[in-house]
Chains A and B, each alone.
Chain A
Amino acid sequence: MSMKVLYFAWVRERVGKAEEEIVPPEGVGTVAELMDWLAGRGEEYAHAFENRRVIRAALDQAHARPDSPIAGAREIAFFPPMTGG
């Protein structure tokens, strides 16, 4: 099923786009697995996801963990640790 992926801050700058529609292949079941798959899509993605441990994710606009299942989510976002306030 297709899902919308959003990128913010330096993740967005490295990927080179703010959002896209993707269809994760079979076997990509968690946030961490999706990052692994994205990292293999090209140089810019490899650069954006080279240090996956620092990248945070949100599923349908709620914070998620690396082992969170992505099944059923319509929107997933990747971003660096937050620095607001």
Chain B
Amino acid sequence: MTVRIQREPFDAAAEAKALTAGRTDIGAVVTFTGICRGSDDGAPVAAMTLEHYPGMAEAEIERHVGEAGTRWPLLGVTVIHRVGRLLPGDDIVLVVTAASHRGDAFAAAEFLMDWLKTRAPFWKKEERPGATGWVAAREADDTAAARWESGTGT
């Protein structure tokens, strides 16, 4: 398990390769990359700055990676979240899950992203033409995370 919070860009392909290097038991790797959009609800976004709670952010992600490991037979997980000022097109977050079969890898990646969005202490501030402001939490993200609480997945 690898959890990193960093300002620097990441290399999604290299991170996925690192999970499978020298192994023959992994049959599926899912790689999810979240990217900074140039518009939100139709309004242009010039840049965003990601703030986090050092220590708790890592701990909270690690808790959920551990939880994912109890739900699905995972053979490797890497989560990288960037902080600092990001421009449209920049990568924000990477989740890589490895398992013997694709169903487990897909489900675990989605589970981790849903929890990352609602429970990991990160906050986005958007720069728009003429104004900057903190992004409001979306109810849809809470709904997406809540569906895992029944323990049945989707």
Flag if A82 contacts B56 (CB, 8 Å).
no
Residue of A nearest to B63 (CB): A62
Interface 0/1 of A47-85, CB less than 8 Å to B: 000000000001001110000000000000101111111
A63 / chain B contacts, CB cutoff of 8 Å: 60, 119
Q: A84 contacts which of B55, B59, B116 (Cβ < 8 Å)?
A: B116
The complex places the Cα of A75 from the Cα of B22 at a distance, in Å, of: 43
A81 / chain B contacts, CB cutoff of 8 Å: 118, 136-137
Asked if B125 is an interface residue, CB under 8 A from chain A, the answer is: yes
Task: Decide yes or no: A85 and B121 within 8 Å by CB, A8-B53, A77-B53 being known contacts.
Answer: no
How many residues of A are in contact with the other chain, CB < 8 A? 16
Flag if A84 contacts B120 (CB, 8 Å).
yes
A residues within 8 Å of B by Cβ? 6, 8-10, 58, 61-63, 77, 79-85
B45 / chain A contacts, CB cutoff of 8 Å: none
Interface centre among B53, B59, B123 (most CB of A within 10 A): B123
B16 vs chain A, min Cβ distance (A): 19
Residue of A nearest to B135 (CB): A83
Residue of A nearest to B123 (CB): A9
Residue of B nearest to A9 (CB): B123
Task: Decide yes or no: A83 and B137 within 8 Å by CB, A8-B51, A58-B121 being known contacts.
Answer: yes
The complex places the Cα of A43 from the Cα of B86 at a distance, in Å, of: 33
Interface 0/1 of B46-78, CB less than 8 Å to A: 000011110111011000000000000000000
Flag if A80 contacts B123 (CB, 8 Å).
yes
